[in-house]
Amino acid sequence: MQARDGYFVLGLPLLPGFICRIDGSFAKVVRADALYPSVFLPRGFHVVDFYFVSWPFVAGVGIAWATLLLLTYWVVGRKGVLWVTRAMLLAVVPLAVLLWVALYAGPSFNTSYFWQVPL
């Protein structure tokens, strides 16, 4: 049986943050079966990369960092509350680890899936 043009359907629910690249070029993600993201693949060998970017999560991280920085700046500006300042600065470490896991090491943000469709 010879390969034909067709649609590649990802088995995850379609959310607004899906981005797809086919052979390094951005491709339009369309809805398949009213639930799944899919992309059109012409006949041949292709590498398909799906990415998911949660913009509300990114906005929440930005708000959390801004709040922590403003609160730390406000506390540092006050004299005589050194233990609070140290505690605020130590709070940056777990937040940085959480961001690293969520943004780079975690399974749900900027995780690419690779499929190769042969001839």
**Cα 14 vs. chain centroid, distance in angstroms?**
14
pLDDT band for position 28 (50/70/90)?
Answer: very high
- Model confidence at 24: pLDDT above 70: yes
> Looking at the predicted structure, is the pLDDT value of residue 51 above 70?
yes
Its pTM stands at 0.54
Taking the CA atoms of 55, 60, 63 and 64 in sequence, report the sign of the dihedral they define. negative
Average pLDDT for 9-22: 85
Q: Hunting for tokens 């403003």 — which residue is that? A: 70
The answer, yes or no, to whether residue 100 has pLDDT greater than 80, is no
Each domain of the chain, given as residue ranges in start order, spans 6-53+110-117, 55-105
Q: How far apart are the first and last CA of the chain?
A: 10
Rounded CA-CA distance 93/14 in Å is 34
Query: What confidence score (pLDDT) does residue 109 get?
Result: 46
The whole-number pLDDT of residue 30 equals: 92
- Mean pLDDT for 3-15 is 84
16 vs 81, which has greater pLDDT?
16
Joined tokens for residue 95: 């937040």
**Is pLDDT at 48 greater than 80 in this prediction?**
yes
Distances (CA, A) of 76 to 25, 39, 43, 55: 48, 52, 62, 31
The pLDDT score that the predictor gives to residue 106 is 57
**pLDDT exceeds 70 at position 27:** yes
